[in-house]
Chains A and B, each alone.
Chain A
Amino acid sequence: MTTRIDTRFAELKRQGRSAFVTFLMAGDPDPATALEIITALPKAGADIIEIGMPFTDPMADGPSIQAAGLRALKAGMTLKKTLAMVGEFRKGDNATPLVLMGYYNPIYIYGVDKFLVDAKSAGVDGLIIVDLPPEEDAELCLPAMKAGLNFIRLATPTTDDRRLPAVLANTSGFVYYVSITGITGSASADTAVVGEAVARIKRHTKLPVCVGFGIRTPEAARGIAETADGAVVGTALVDALAGSLDAEGKATAKTVRAVADLVSALAQGVRGAKQAAE
């Protein structure tokens, strides 16, 4: 099985650079603006797009992404509409990998089998589900693999060498290394420490390793991209989006531009990185 994610990493390897991965919340600040933003991302320099599935109780997320989820829910976003948005995006872009990221309950309630069929046909390539560790693989990970979707696992500073094989066993697409113990947007990643962690994970797997949580600036993105196969930025983009809204939290003429401009700057940072030694 080869997904758009596998194809994209193979291309980037030929180009000799790391991936820039963006995260934004589906339906934030409203479904129409969110689609416009996501459509603008590849041109601005995003290599892989993560789309958050809004949830009322995101226990691994900091205040920025919590607020993004609540804005989306208030604007009427649902999992069904998130899948429809992916379908719309795919009408104009059949190459950029799309990964849905979120929590299990909305998928469980949608129905796992139905969700996998609908996600695949909408054009989703992978899933990152924060509250499904390997101990719960039977719930969604194994069915997702069977359905042809990558199940991308989070590895963290607390995932030691003894546990890594279990975490990597059913992981595909790439490994998402969470660079800090903490919630999204809470602290800055230390490039040297992250470099060692990425090297440690790479001793256990041939999969690309992307790093997220705690990357906010083009400089930080460049630093991470020099040691990892990809740098993920979420909170900084969500903050740029939030900063462009009016007093009622509604989109303004500046909203799409605010996000796209920051994505361009961050993408420049990633593209300026020296390629990590293999």
Chain B
Amino acid sequence: MNPNLPNSFRSGPDDTGHFGNFGGRFVAETLMPLILELEKAYAAAKADPAFHAEMNGYLKHYVGRPSPLYFAERLTGHLGGAKIYFKREELNHTGSHKVNNVLGQIMVARRMGKKRIIAETGAGQHGVATATLCARFGLECIVYMGAVDVARQAPNVFRMETLGARVIPVQSGTRTLKDAMNEALRDWVTNVHDTFYCIGTVAGPHPYPMMVRDFQSIIGVETRAQMQEAEGRLPDSLVACIGGGSNAIGLFHPFLDDPGVEIFGVEAAGHGLTQLHAASIAGGRAGVLHGNRTYLLMDDDGQIQDAHSISAGLDYPGIGPEHSWLYETKRVTYLSATDDEALAAFQLLSRQEGIIPALETAHAIAKVMELAPKRPRDHLMVVNLSGRGDKDIPQVAEILKGQKI
């Protein structure tokens, strides 16, 4: 027994927002009072049955939960190994898991009396979810999106604008997700008195990584119950893609203390780990950015490096701090899939199951293609189908143009 292992993998973070050495509150003083206020407001909401009752009502009737746990029979037969189940988060209203978190945060924002909501977005899924709930609750919504992502995710930009949000293309830095987050933080520092920052993933200063995880954990909680019903036992393995890691932690967290459940997170390896990629754990090291200490892509001088992934949602040089801790404690195994592997998985899943996955999700499928055939037929594998691929169709069409599909 390793004496450094915790009694539970589910008790973090500590009171100061740390998961082991990771997490924390590395923000400008201007934001600190508000972050402490948010921590209190969230703790009060979490302890209030009325908050949960209201949220559960919206989760059921507006989001459409519970999302199904679906046996992917043809893919299972095609790969010839583990029995593969999909947790169908892509069937949620707005088309991904992002809405689970946004609903929770918007309800906290309402309790705090905030009327102006800002968000950053990469693929646009978090931006769309935020724009949707702001429309539903009549709140002003501003979404920061890297100019590069605005170009490659045009359908989502139009969706956000249709929903009444203002999308601001970010021209600074590398003009992708990290810069959108910088710009959202700059807005927040400027408009701290009336603005709520709705962060899209399990990153940022405490309490965000914890709060977002709590809201996403409904994925894993439902999966436990649904798998009991389907198979009478827990799954043997879980697989999810990771940018910041919110869909992954949402599925993983309720299973962290079940040692029989193998857990795999899949980062984006872009053009390959020796070239441009977005795999912070495979190719980065611990550092401090965007309010938390976590694994980051950087050079020897501590300058943040450009990430690259075919998927805008994974194109971020960091990962949530709880993942960094789960990596160092070895509870979760982190793998990576390249752009090409994700594209192949995107096509395979479309043909085998009639489900077009988001390019983000296709990274998880790519590793299922490797893991499933090596496991016995009674092995139960759950993949988080975190998002649907409608938004990616124009981009994939462009890439595959001229190729024989």
List residues of chain A with CB under 8 Å of any chain B CB. Answer: 54-60, 62-63, 66, 70, 73, 78-80, 103-110, 130-136, 153-160, 163, 167, 178, 181-183, 186
Contact code string B173-211 (vs A, CB < 8 Å = 1, else 0): 100001100100110011111000000000000000000
Asked whether A57 lies within 8 Å of B28 as measured between CB atoms, the reply is: no
Which residues in B have their C-beta under 8 angstroms from that of A70? 173
Report which of B27, B291, B303 forms a contact with A106, defined as CB distance below 8 A: B303
Task: Give Cα distance in the complex from A206 to B24, angstroms.
Answer: 30
Contact code string B294-320 (vs A, CB < 8 Å = 1, else 0): 001010111110000000000000000
Asked whether B302 lies within 8 Å of A106 as measured between CB atoms, the reply is: yes
Q: Is B26 at the interface (CB under 8 A from chain A)?
A: yes
Instruction: Give the interface size class of chain B.
Output: 35 or more
Q: Is B224 at the interface (CB under 8 A from chain A)?
A: no
Task: Give Cα distance in the complex from A163 to B16, angstroms.
Answer: 17
Asked whether A156 lies within 8 Å of B30 as measured between CB atoms, the reply is: yes
Asked whether B186 lies within 8 Å of A60 as measured between CB atoms, the reply is: yes
Asked whether A183 lies within 8 Å of B288 as measured between CB atoms, the reply is: no
Asked whether A133 lies within 8 Å of B289 as measured between CB atoms, the reply is: no
Report which of B27, B32, B190, B300 forms a contact with A181, defined as CB distance below 8 A: B190
Asked whether A154 lies within 8 Å of B289 as measured between CB atoms, the reply is: no
Which residues in B have their C-beta under 8 angstroms from that of A178? 29-30
Q: Is B33 at the interface (CB under 8 A from chain A)?
A: yes
Asked whether B304 lies within 8 Å of A56 as measured between CB atoms, the reply is: yes
Task: Give Cα distance in the complex from A130 to B30, angstroms.
Answer: 10
Which residues in B have their C-beta under 8 angstroms from that of A78? 301
Asked whether B298 lies within 8 Å of A159 as measured between CB atoms, the reply is: no
Nearest A residue to B183, CB-CB: A59
Task: Give Cα distance in the complex from A134 to B16, angstroms.
Answer: 12
Asked whether A135 lies within 8 Å of B16 as measured between CB atoms, the reply is: yes
Which residues in B have their C-beta under 8 angstroms from that of A108? 287-288, 293, 302
Asked whether B173 lies within 8 Å of A131 as measured between CB atoms, the reply is: no
Asked whether A55 lies within 8 Å of B26 as measured between CB atoms, the reply is: no
Asked whether A131 lies within 8 Å of B30 as measured between CB atoms, the reply is: no
Asked whether B33 lies within 8 Å of A56 as measured between CB atoms, the reply is: no
With A105-B289, A158-B192, A181-B190 as given contacts, are A59 and B298 in contact (CB-CB < 8 Å)?
no
| CB under 8 Å from chain A, chain B span 10-35 | 16, 24-34
Chain A contact residues, majority secondary structure: loop
Asked whether B190 lies within 8 Å of A135 as measured between CB atoms, the reply is: no
Which residues in B have their C-beta under 8 angstroms from that of A157? 30
CB distance from B194 to the nearest CB of A (A): 11
Q: Is B114 at the interface (CB under 8 A from chain A)?
A: no
Asked whether B288 lies within 8 Å of A133 as measured between CB atoms, the reply is: no
Task: Give Cα distance in the complex from A109 to B285, angstroms.
Answer: 9
Asked whether A56 lies within 8 Å of B173 as measured between CB atoms, the reply is: yes
Report which of A58, A104, A106 forms a contact with B26, defined as CB distance below 8 A: A104
With A57-B173, A135-B16 as given contacts, are A110 and B302 in contact (CB-CB < 8 Å)?
yes
CB distance from B256 to the nearest CB of A (A): 27
Asked whether B193 lies within 8 Å of A181 as measured between CB atoms, the reply is: yes
Q: Which 6 A-B pairs have the closest CB atoms?
A: A109-B302, A106-B302, A182-B190, A156-B30, A59-B185, A131-B26
Add 6 more A-B contacts to A57-B290, A135-B25, A160-B33 (CB < 8 A). Answer: A57-B289, A58-B182, A66-B173, A131-B291, A167-B29, A183-B189
Can you name 14 A-B pairs with beta carbons within 8 Å? A57-B178, A58-B182, A59-B186, A62-B186, A105-B304, A133-B27, A135-B16, A136-B24, A155-B29, A158-B192, A159-B32, A167-B29, A181-B190, A183-B186
Nearest A residue to B286, CB-CB: A108
Asked whether B190 lies within 8 Å of A186 as measured between CB atoms, the reply is: yes
Nearest B residue to A178, CB-CB: B30
Which residues in A have their C-beta under 8 angstroms from that of B162? none
Task: Give Cα distance in the complex from A182 to B117, angstroms.
Answer: 17
Q: Is B350 at the interface (CB under 8 A from chain A)?
A: no
Asked whether B25 lies within 8 Å of A133 as measured between CB atoms, the reply is: yes
Nearest B residue to A166, CB-CB: B32
Q: Is B228 at the interface (CB under 8 A from chain A)?
A: no
Task: Give Cα distance in the complex from A105 to B289, angstroms.
Answer: 7
Asked whether B192 lies within 8 Å of A57 as measured between CB atoms, the reply is: no
Q: Is B56 at the interface (CB under 8 A from chain A)?
A: no
| CB under 8 Å from chain A, chain B span 346-398 | none
Asked whether A159 lies within 8 Å of B302 as measured between CB atoms, the reply is: no
Asked whether A55 lies within 8 Å of B303 as measured between CB atoms, the reply is: yes
Task: Give Cα distance in the complex from A202 to B63, angstroms.
Answer: 52
